Structure 1
């Protein structure tokens, strides 16, 4: 087997291998050649070549999101590294393990005007779990420079012994911080940065390893809850007649069904589940906005909980945020091993464990409380559902109507990736097929890498993946299609309303030149030519009848991935949506 000659590169690669980091996304460059040589010549690693670093990082994020294990990205020095930042931030806030391996110039070439050079150390400081800034290997021709910097010794023998000691210390230091970085990604589920300086020559190879680093075994945190804290929770819960649970982003099949069934039988509990929660029960309340959107005055007070319990990732619904920030619960408990956001400005108890472990200790001690809380809101939910269906029967073709058709056509037991902005919010209005696994980049809620993430997901997942996205989001991340790994069963649905349609729903002056240019960003672009360039089968529709017919064949097998572009009337979409909330109320 061929290895890079540089010991530091060997060290990084061997420690990645020892800790099970298998998927390596490489963006071509020269300074990262030692890492590229090592990873690509070892059959253990699954290597991908993606030129655009921003797309590469989101692609890696999609793989890590599905496998729930660290995925590495490798880039050259300079601004290449900065293009990883959007995905690093998303990984940080979405708790996704991502390992950034950046090649760097030697210290003496930084800050002197050398090409492709920036200050790379700690560049992700505010959005990283750990930064490992490695030290440059000492080579034979470094001897004189190092010795000149040392105190004067009585004889050459002492000088040589000191140099050998420095070499050993540098290797030990590098092994320690690389090991620590990868362990952080493994245990804490987030991004880490390993900055690797290389001096030339960069392309030399050898057949034998010169270093053999020793990895440490990461220690998992013991799941436990203090008896006093658990006792207080049980006492307060049993005394309250109105308890609300709100579940944000959650991995599929993460919560045991027996705990969901137990929560569903208590009349004093209502469970709000977001589309991204991947939780389903007929007694729960999906489509939060559909329930809360039409409420006014006294109805909010009736819904206000005594205790709010949350778990999972970030919340999409602005309506539930506004409601709970105004009508605050007496107590808000959040369950998470890592962090707790005070989203509703009422956080009173952080329970540092998993939801499964908490429920296993908590629910067996809970006594169902007689209450009209769940029965009342169940009746409201049923009424909203009837009005939802009636409204859709009579409404003109629009974004809302398109989502109704799309979400009903996605095949069972597949993966749904949702773009941000209006896409995920429209999806929140529908009760999704419970066999779907749903994902969305809600860490930073950006539109910048939705397509790249979905493609990474499709590569890592044996199930078929569908991405639903808006026109601006798709165009913004169109380099995602510059990718040789897209499976033929991958599907993209682009809702093209000729601009940022969500801004028409928000307060502001519409239909002015300023609004159309700087907020909505009017355009007349389509995905057709991009599909031709990148080998996607392209179809376009602009009415309900053709859409339903096209969706039947859209998921049939083919010899290339497919994209369906749906054109909706930009000047009607906001009116249809705003009238929807009036109608169902």
Structure 2
């Protein structure tokens, strides 16, 4: 087998292998050549070449999102590394294990005006679980190799050695790499390993010169303080209005017996979002559809005594506004890592998994007689009937397009949603329960939606469909620049000629300033991009042609497909705003 000659490169690669980091996304460069040589010449690794580092990082995020295991991205030195930042931040807030491997210049070449050189040390400091800055290899066999370095570097190493302050460089690097990867494995989040290499970079050998000794990550046992659990049980059993709000959640993560237990309690209502991936006949999806038309007296009736939350960030601005104004007496959050005080009333962070909490908590709770659930179920039925009436009465628009699209997605599809208006429109519909839904809600940015969806599709045999807006799609169009997109990948672009969500928000519409700086009015289409990147392209302008196109859109073919739906930008906001008035 071929290995890079540099021991530090060997160490990084062998420890990744020992810890099961299999998927490696590489952006071409020179300074990262030792890592590229090692990863790409070992059949254990599945390597991908993605030129655009921003796309590469989101592509890797999509893989890690699906597999729930660390995925590595490898880049050269300089500004290449900074292009990873949007995906790093998304991984940090979405709890996705991403390993950043950045090649760097040696320490003595930083800050002297060398090309492709920036200060890479701790560059992601606020958005990674751990960052390690490795040390440059120094040859053991001769003092000459140390003396060849600038005097300050030589003296630094000699002083550290004389005072006994340092381990060998190999020991230090092994320990740092080991610790960093273990953090990603245990805590599900991004980590950064900065790897300095000196030239020559391309030398190869047939034998390893190092044998690193990895340590196994050790999970802490799950537990809940008995006093905390006792207080929760006491307060829960005394409350007649309990609300559970579920944010972003992996499919099949919560045991069904706990969902059934919650559903059987009349004093409990469970609000789920499109990204919650939780379904039960008594739960309340489509939160906005239920609460948007409520008046003050209704909000007070809905206001919970106890709010219990778990999962990631909440999409619905309406439920956030409601719970911030009509605050619960208590807010508990269940999570292993963090608790956000989203509603300014958090008083109990139970640091464990939802399943473990429910296993200790629910068997000791009692169901209460209450009309809390039944009242809102009755109102939900009324909302649903009006929802259907309204959709049957409107002209073709964004809302009508989503109704048709979401009604025609095949069972068991993995649905990736773009941010901004796309995920918010999807929130208004009760989705097919067989779908698995994902969206980059950690930072809620539009910058990597397509890249993430493609990374997801690459490691899944199931049908993957991305629904996205025109600006999101164009912004991330380099996502299509790779050779790994499966033929069953499908993209649906809602093209309303700009950032349609800004027409819904307060502001002065239909002015030159608004069109240019907020909505970003344009007349671009996806057709030429599809021709360049090998996607089968089709466009539609009305409901009838949309329904007709969807009949064949999901059929098998030898290339991925994109369907572009043009909707009337000057009508969409009016249709949506009138929707909330109508259902109320």
TM bucket normalised to smaller: over 0.9
Partner residue in 2 for 1:155: none
Give the corresponding residue for 2:557.
Answer: 558
* Distance across 1 between alignment mates of 2:193 and 2:492: 37
Deviation at 1:491, TM superposition (A): 0.1
Deviations 1:257-316 (A, max 9, x none): 010011001000000000000000010000000001111110000000000000000000
**Aligned to 2:146, which of 143, 147, 158?**
143
Paired position in structure 2 for 1:36: 36
Task: Tell me the distance in 2 between the aligned counterparts of 1:543 and 1:146.
Answer: 69
Are 1:134 and 2:138 an aligned pair?
A: no
Q: 1:436-461 CA distances to partner (integer Å, 9 max, x unpaired)?
A: 00000000000000000000000011
Distance 1:297 1:103 in 2: 57
CA distance in 2, matches of 1:526, 1:459: 25
Length, aligned pairs only: 578
Whole-Å separation in 2 of the counterparts to 1:276 and 1:552: 26
Per the TM alignment, residue 167 of structure 1 is displaced from its structure 2 partner at its CA by 9.5
Gap change, CA 1:209 and 1:570, over 3 Å in 2: same
Residue pair 1:137, 1:167 contacting (<8 A) in 2 also:
no
Deviations 1:409-452 (A, max 9, x none): 11001100000000000000000000000000000000000000
Q: How does 1:15-414 map to 2 (within 5 A)?
A: 15-139=15-139, 140=142, 141-145=144-148, 169-414=168-413
Distance 2:428 2:327 in 1: 24
Q: Deviations over 1:50-84 (max 9, x none)?
A: 00000000000000000000000000000000000
**Counterpart in the other structure of 1:2:** 2
SS in 2 for 1:72: strand
Offset of 1:143 from its aligned partner?
2.8
* Structure 2 residue matching 1:102: 3-state secondary structure: strand
- Distance, in Å, in 2 between the alignment partners of 1:271 and 1:313 is 15
Kept after mapping to 1: 8 A contact 2:108/2:153? no
- Residues 1:117 and 1:147: Cα distance change in structure 2 (over 3 Å): closer
The answer as to 2:430 corresponding to 1:427 is no
Work out whether residues 10 and 38 of structure 1, in 8 Å CA contact, stay in contact via their aligned partners in 2: yes
Q: CA deviation at 1:162?
A: 6.0
Structure 1 distance, partners of 2:544, 2:510, is 29
**Aligned partners of 2:474, 2:383: CA distance in 1, in Å?**
35
Secondary structure of the residue aligned to 2:168 is: helix
5+ residue gaps, structure 1, are 153-158
Tell me by how many angstroms 1:144 deviates: 2.1
Residues 1:579 and 1:174: Cα distance change in structure 2 (over 3 Å): same
* Partner of residue 567, structure 1: 566
Q: TM-score, normalised by structure 2?
A: 0.97
Q: 1:167 to 1:318 in 2, by over 3 A?
A: closer
Shift of 1:149: 6.6
Between the aligned partners of 1:402 and 1:147, the Cα distance in structure 2 is 65
Are the counterparts in 1 of residues 95 and 189 from structure 2 also a CA contact under 8 Å?
yes
Distance 2:154 2:15 in 1: 35
C-alpha separation in 1, matches of 2:108 and 2:146: 16
Segments of structure 2 that go 5 or more residues without pairing to the other structure are none
Distance in 1 (CA, whole Å) between partners of 2:266 and 2:380 is: 15
Q: Once the two structures are superposed, what CA deviation does each residue of 1:464-490 show, in whole Å capped at 9, x if it has no partner?
A: 100000000000000000010000000
Does the residue aligned with 1:411 lie in a helix, a strand or coil? coil
Tell me the distance in 2 between the aligned counterparts of 1:162 and 1:257: 59
Counterparts of residues 489-528 of structure 1 (less than 5 Å): 489-528=488-527
Q: CA deviation at 1:142?
A: 2.2
